[in-house]
């Protein structure tokens, strides 16, 4: 079974440029998460989707970040414009729900973003 | 507000030794406590998890000890191996507003010397 797929794996951009990350969750997983992981830190949740609905986006900086999950499968996270402080690893995870929020979350390898 | 505090930041043990990583939480609504293992260039992967209705859970060489009254839990790795060298994160989630949201500790870099 294929795991969570993310692309690109690495991205280098100049500040003020836009950038987008793509995630394909494990087949059949209705819950999708985007996390931000700064160097030497644990992941922090940005947004959680149940199917195509964003049910928790309280930690998403909405002035520059946006996300979508069309048709409840793939998801895209966008930053526009990027700032130096956005340099981090962006992780996507998915789960199949059904256990009250305590189900296993499966993480992709992440996209490492460097903003110059 | 950091709701899950993890220590130590780094840990070096010899092959065959015991590795112990500790976490403390603040939110009493948390009721699910997983540990994740992350290798360089990879995403975190679930290692073992516990619910607060038990004080200990063991899976192979990995054991979680849970102290609900102290709001602390720890990971013990018995017979540590070089292949266990990785970053370990404790996490917690539970009832709303934490429902489905994993709050991670800051991580512990474990190095096991052969």
Q: What is the mean pLDDT of residues A8-17?
A: 97
Nearest-CB residue to B46 (from A42, A101, A104)? A104
SS3 A72: helix
Instruction: Give the tens place of pLDDT for each residue, A23-56.
Output: 999 999 999 999 999 999 999 999 999 999 998 8
Q: Does residue B97 have a pLDDT over 80?
A: no
CA–CA distance, B103 with A10 (Å, rounded to integer)? 25
Q: Which residues of A touch B34 (CB under 8 A)?
A: 104
Please spell the DSSP secondary structure of B59-78, one letter per residue.
ETTEEEEEETTTTEEEEEES
- List CB contacts (< 8 A) between B51 and chain A: 102
The domain segmentation of chain A, as residue ranges, is 5-115
Kindly report the three-state secondary structure assignment for every residue of A2-68. CCCEEECCEEEECCCCCEEEEEECCCCCCEEEEEEECCCCCCEEEEEEECCEEEECCCCCCCCEEEE
Q: How far is A4 from chain B (nearest CA, A)?
A: 10
Q: Is B23 on the interface with A (CB under 8 A)?
A: no
| pLDDT bracket for residue B2 (50, 70, 90) | low
The CATH architecture one would assign to domain B4-113 is: Sandwich (2.60)
The domain limits of chain B are 4-113
Q: Which CATH architecture has domain A5-115?
A: Sandwich (2.60)
């Amino acid at each position: 079974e294929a795991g969570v797929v993310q692309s690109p794996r690495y991205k280098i951009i100049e500040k003020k440029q836009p950038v987008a990350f793509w995630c394909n969750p494990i087949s059949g997983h209705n819950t999708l998460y985007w996390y931000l992981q700064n160097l030497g830190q644990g992941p922090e949740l940005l947004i959680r989707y149940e199917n195509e609905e964003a049910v928790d986006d309280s930690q998403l900086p909405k002035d520059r970040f946006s996300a979508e999950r069309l048709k409840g499968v793939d998801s895209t996270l966008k930053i526009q414009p990027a700032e130096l402080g956005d340099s981090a690893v962006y992780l996507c995870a998915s789960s199949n729900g059904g256990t009250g929020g305590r189900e296993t979350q499966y993480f992709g390898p992440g996209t490492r973003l460097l903003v110059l | 507000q950091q709701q899950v505090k993890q220590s130590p930041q780094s840990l070096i043990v010899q092959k065959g030794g015991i590795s112990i990583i500790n976490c403390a939480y603040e939110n009493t609504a948390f009721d699910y406590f997983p540990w994740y293992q992350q290798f360089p260039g990879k995403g975190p992967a679930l290692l073992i998890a516990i619910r607060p209705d038990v004080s200990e859970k063991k899976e192979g060489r990995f054991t979680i000890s849970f102290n609900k009254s102290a709001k602390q839990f720890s990971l013990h790795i018995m017979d540590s191996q070089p292949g266990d060298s990785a970053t370990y994160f404790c996490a917690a989630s539970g009832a709303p507003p934490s429902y489905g949201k994993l709050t991670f500790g800051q991580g512990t870099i474990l190095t096991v010397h052969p």
